Amino acid sequence: MPTYEYECTSCGHTFEKFQKISEKPVQTCPKCKGKVKRLISGSSSFILKGSGWYATDYVKNNNSQPAEHHTTKPASQTADKTTDTSK
């Protein structure tokens, strides 16, 4: 459910209202009972809270064994040594 921001046209009071998309917009100011208008919100952040997200549930376990590192041999050890049979 989104949070909508409203501003009173009489007293200038601004407030937010957590409502369903299908609900009708707020018509009166809770402070002075004047007429309000819904503002276009500049805040468009999306926040994921609670369990079930990567940072809390899928992080590698530090208790696991470290992966084995494979080292490469120097080029002198990997060169193909063929014997010369032409002698």
What pLDDT, on a 0 to 100 scale, did the predictor assign at position 2?
A: 82
For the chain, 87 residues long, give each residue's pLDDT as a single digit of tens: 788 899 999 999 999 998 898 999 999 999 999 999 999 866 556 666 666 666 555 656 665 555 555 555 555 555 555 555 655
Burial (0-12, 13-18, 19+ Cβ within 10 Å), 23? exposed
Domains, the chain: 1-40 (2.20.28)
14 beta partners: 7
| Per-residue pLDDT, 22 | 92
Q: What is the pTM of this model?
A: 0.47
What does the alpha-carbon distance between residue 78 and residue 75 come to, in Å, rounded to a whole number? 5
